Amino acid sequence: MSQEKSRLIIKSGNIFDSVRGILKENQTIVIHENKILWCGEDDSFEKESNDEIIDVKGKTIIPGMIDCHVHLENTAEPDYERKYLRTTKVMWHYYALQNAQKHLINGFTCIRDCGSFPDWAPSLRRILDNGVFAGPRLIIANLPISQWGNQEAIGPIEVIEYYGRFSEVKTGINGIKHAVRDRRRSGADFIKTITTGGVLHGITSKVDTSLFLDDELLAMTEEAHRFGMHVACHAHGREGIYKAVKTNVDTIEHGTLIDEETIDLMKEKQTFLIPTQTAGFGINKPDILKQLPPEVKIKIEQIILKMKSNHKLAFEKGVLLAVGTDAGTPGNPHGTTISEIINMIENVGMTTTQALQAATIQAAKAIKMEKKIGSIEIEKCADLVVCNGNPIEQISILKDPNNLLYVIKDGMIMAEKGKITYFN
């Protein structure tokens, strides 16, 4: 006879209902294997003799949080491209695991990696899914699909080499379609594309220049959606954002120079905006900037002033927003996503409840995972965080992992008070 795994009961806590945006007091959650079997008023559940019960009276239970934009193998050091060239590829696979665990111990049970290498990402995802190591759920893009002529050209050799390896440049409908199928073949969950230059890309890569043609982008989204993959698009400048939204990408990453017309189109098309303000603030520090190529400073100045008011306007006009950090970029370490939740409150104008929704149910919707994660509901994956106090009244509670009493993923207690406690 096979041995039934005992149920895990999280008893008498106050649940943050991320769907309705309310706190429900004295609730109990019954977890069986990886799923929430039952959830409701305290003590009205039917107890079984071998239940493992954890009483969390007075504590708050929030859904496991989601960061929609990270780069796991990057370690937030300004010279990470050079470091990449000095170390072996295999070492970076271990950094990726360590960084994934930093998100986990801080209450993030799902992260979406927006650009990584197929030689480690699908394997790490599988290792974490199988519970070999403690770690969050991992959603991966593998190599981004970039536009020929705007991603890397003239710049410090390390930058060119890094981005040359990091993304694949494509032209033409057939090239794009092949690239999408190639991502699917290499085990990507979604497609990451790039319709404007990036702050950290080479000298000639401008944040307000966009080179992909509409028919190339349409071919990409059609092909991806046909396979059930969504498309995330890096875009700073107005033209690149507008084009991407018009051709049906699912999420806009950064969106720093968005205008009103594009905001209206995003609202109409229900395209999500992932602001990643922490990435801009991370780079825009004197000690970080002095270690980066000089053109980065010019580009960061171009976006940083307008970013806050543009994102705020997008939110006020009804664009859907979700939390993502771009963690791994210079000055933007893994495991600090709470800062972006605070950015949503302080710079975008969300209430604390809305900001927590942007990191749970709204983030789940943005990455097309809302049937599985993002809220504490029967039949969903048992991804949740038990914390001290009430983060809706005081969001800073979540900044200190000592306040995170249990981080549970797939029904397994993975971390307690900032330490991994799950070992297979």
- The contact set with Zn ion (CB under 5 A) reads 114, 326
Instruction: Quote the least distance from Cβ 53 to Zn ion, whole Å.
Output: 42
Nearer to Zn ion, 28 or 271 (CB): 271
Sign of torsion over alpha carbons 219, 225, 228, 234: positive
End-to-end CA distance of the chain: give it in Å, rounded: 23
CB of 115 to Zn ion, least distance (A): 6
Judged by CB, which is closer to Zn ion: 208, or 222?
208
Contact indicator for 243, 195 with CB cutoff of 8 Å: yes
Q: Which is nearer to Zn ion, 17 or 326 (CB)?
A: 326
Q: Which residues contact 112 (CB under 8 A, 6 or more apart)?
A: 66, 67, 68, 69, 70, 139, 140, 141, 190, 232, 324, 367
CB atoms within 10 A of CB 47: 11
Least distance to Zn ion from the beta carbon of 245, Å?
Answer: 18
Beta strands in 243-296 (DSSP E): 251-254, 272-274
- Phi, psi of 413, rounded to the nearest 5 degrees: -70, 115
Residue nearest to Zn ion (CB): 326
Q: Is the Cβ of residue 333 or residue 411 nearer to Zn ion in the bound state? A: 333
Nearest approach in angstroms of CB 328 to Zn ion is 8
Nearer CB in complex with Zn ion: 11/234:
234
Nearer to Zn ion, 163 or 242 (CB): 163
Nearest-angstrom CA–CA distance, 369 and 362: 10
Alpha-carbon span 326 to 344, nearest angstrom: 15
Our CB check for Zn ion shows the closer of 36 and 300 to be 300
- Phi/psi at 171 (5° precision): -135, 155
Coil/strand/helix, residue 21? coil
Nearest to 407 by CA among 65, 40, 8: 65
Please enumerate in sequence order all residues whose Cβ is within 8 A of that of 21, keeping only pairs 6 or more positions apart, or say none. 353, 354, 357
CB of 286 to Zn ion, least distance (A): 23
User: Minimum CB separation from Zn ion for residue 352, in Å?
Assistant: 26
Q: How far is the CB of 116 from Zn ion (least distance, A)?
A: 10
